[in-house]
Amino acid sequence: MPKRRKFSFKKTALFLIVLIIFVIVVFLGLYKFETSAVSSNTKAITITVDKGNNYYTIAGMLKEKKLIKSEFFYKIFLKLHKPERIEAGTYDLNAAMSVSEIVETLCNKEKIKDTSIKLTFREGINVQAMAQIIENKTDITAEEFLTKISDETYIDTLKSKYWFITDDVKNPNIYYDLEGYLYPDTYVLEKNEVSLDNLLAKIMENTNKKLTPLKELVDQSNYSLHQLITLASLIELEAVTDSDRALVSGVFYNRLNNNWSLGSDVTTYYAAHKAMTEKLTKEELNACNGYNTTCVTMKGLPMGPIDNPSLSSLKAAINPTDTDCYYFVADSEKKVHFTKNLNEHNAIIAKLKKEGKWIG
């Protein structure tokens, strides 16, 4: 009898060992299967991990989007591997990724999808060019943008909010009311927040931020802010360096103080709705309107800005360099040559033509 019990115990122990091994093998096989890719479909599935979420709280979302086969085995994987902290953000995952690959993606900052739209407006850009950039990068049309920035109701709301928006911009002959007041910069918006109102709100807040430190200087000037921005918009297109801009400003002040025409053909391009890469006709150069300062009968500043100038040009408009020059011309290398009278000016032009640096 004792021998039979011993035999039975050994047999039972062996059975249990085999059973345990079998269960482990089955579990490992099931674990491997349940943490493998759901399918071979590599189509991107976008998920967003909000701040405060962790691997466990997003398990249901992963299952719902069919990115994992089992929440249970997904959590087992997490217990076993203890991955680095999950990074909040938006990710592109797909059903061909294993649990291991999904978790590896979710803890990698470099894998976060950029969901923002960046709109970069160079210094000296006019609103028509801005409108085209906006249309190319968003669902906002150029027409919608241009209509909005001259909408009387919208302008009135800005007047009540910002000190720098005045009735000067409501001149019915101005092409676009907010030309000159949309500070050129890079603006970033989340794709789900892109709207014309949001974009303009960002731009106007930035303009306010840039202009407000200059308010005291503007108040001390003999010119209004609108006139200074208008002058700055000319300076922006006539010179590149800070020193040249201040000197160009000095030339313009000399002409203004002596009741001369400013004679700046950058205003003619704007008046004629032409890009500065195009040729101007004699008729366009001589045309008299509120913008074209090459018209000999037009004295003083244009009726409004012709672009959106930089802070550098605005500072030059407020604080010009004293000079006895009344003329300037820029060459093909963007160097500005300043002269006191027409004879010197013509001599410089002849020299530049001879050297192949004339861009007139």
CATH class of 45-111: alpha beta
Res 173: pLDDT: 94
Helix axes 2-34, 71-81, angle to 10 degrees: 100
pTM over 0.85: no
Take residue 181 and report the two structure tokens written for it: 């007041």
What is the percent of the chain where pLDDT is above 70? 97
Q: Angle at the Cα of 271 (from 120 to 154), degrees rounded to 5?
A: 55
**What average pLDDT does this structure show over 271-276?**
92
Q: State the maximum Cα–Cα separation within the chain, in Å, rounded to a whole number.
A: 133
Examine the pLDDT at 130 and tell me if it is beyond 50: yes
| β-sheet bridge partners, residue 329 | 337
DSSP result, 37-82: -S-S----EEEEE-TT--TTTTHHHHHHTTS-S-HHHHHHHHHHH-
How buried is 249 (Cβ within 10 angstroms: 0-12 exposed, 13-18 middle, 19+ buried)? buried
Q: What confidence tier does 5 reach under pLDDT thresholds 50, 70, 90?
A: low
Q: 71-125 pLDDT, tens per residue?
A: 999 999 999 989 988 988 899 999 999 999 999 999 898 888 888 899 999 999 9
Checking if the pLDDT of 2 tops 60, the result is no
pLDDT cut 90: percent of the chain above it:
76
Predicted confidence (pLDDT) at residue 249 exceeds the cutoff of 70: yes
The pLDDT value given to residue 325:
97
Q: How confident is the model at residue 1 (pLDDT cuts 50, 70, 90)?
A: very low
- Please, which pLDDT band fits residue 177 given cuts at 50, 70 and 90? very high
| Interval 22-76: pLDDT, tens | 777 777 778 888 889 999 999 999 999 998 899 999 999 999 999 999 999 999 9
